[in-house]
Amino acid sequence: MTENLRVAVVTGGSRGIGQVVAERLAADGLAVAIVYASNKEAADATVAAITGNGGRALARSADIGDEAAMSAVFDDVEAEFGGIDVVVNSAGIMHLQPVAELDLAALDRMHRTNIRGAFVVNQQAARRVRTGGAIINFSTSVKKLALPTYAAYAASKGAIDALVPVLAKELRGRDVTVNAVAPGPTATDLFLEGKDEATVTAMANMNPMQRLGTPADIAEVVSFLAGPGRWVNGQTVYVNGGMV
């Protein structure tokens, strides 16, 4: 272990926003552990990108809703890097459907990842993050927009908004901050898939900046909360260009 090495765990760090967050934290000088569900190729590629730029990284596969699996991941990270300073929980799934037609099995799957998984990850983080560290979760701006078909997803992310300020207070005296970022529409492959140009343009124009966010826009805020942003605590920070 390198003396004074800061270490981050990033769930959902193999693709999309989570991948860019992992690479940004590595560029900030942190060793990064990427937790992914199933896409080993993408996770390995992210590790290779980080190490190719002189950083330190590892990847581990785990279901974030499985407390034993996540405890083992955190054990591995501590054994490899000596401790944990930052935990970013960006893993999540989204199922869109009107409430009257909602597939409750899909709701249960989303609950396991977005709510149970968040509590599992935050529980491990609360037990292990070192003094001066940060816990950062992902919420969503769609809660304020109240768009049709988004009720189940928005409700699952509303749980994050409830968790964050409570955990921040529970960690009183530890000098560990707990926050969430709530992105608006962001230009990832997952977001753009299946949307025509008119839909993308309409969503881009929902904010006064008149563009979609980029993963780098979101990663910049995560970097701030993981590093210098020590006086921001217990908050959900909306990162959407002024959309809501």
Count CB-CB contacts under 10 A for residue 172: 8
Count CB-CB contacts under 10 A for residue 55: 19
Range of the domain at 30: 7-186+215-238
Instruction: Provide the number of structural domains found in the chain.
Output: 1
pLDDT in tens, 157-178: 999 999 999 999 999 999 999 9
Which CATH number does the domain housing residue 72 bear?
A: 3.40.50.720
Closest CA to 10 of 68, 62, 79: 62
Q: Lowest-confidence range among 107-121, 149-163, 194-208?
A: 194-208
Catalytic member of 36, 150, 153, 238: 153
Cα–Cα dist 24/115, whole Å: 26
**Looking at the domain assignment, is residue 80 inside a domain?**
yes
**Is residue 9's pLDDT more than 60?**
yes
Cα–Cα dist 104/156, whole Å: 13
Q: Are 49 and 105 a contacting pair, CB within 8 Å? A: no
**Looking at the domain assignment, is residue 151 inside a domain?**
yes
Q: Is 153 a catalytic residue?
A: yes
pLDDT at 1: 45
**Is residue 217's pLDDT more than 70?**
yes
**Is residue 90's pLDDT more than 90?**
yes
List, in sequence order, the alpha helices (H) in the chain: 16-27, 40-52, 67-81, 104-111, 117-128, 142-145, 151-170, 189-192, 197-204, 215-226
φ, ψ of residue 218 to 5 degrees: the values are: -70, -45
Highest mean pLDDT: which of 112-116, 191-195, 202-206?
112-116
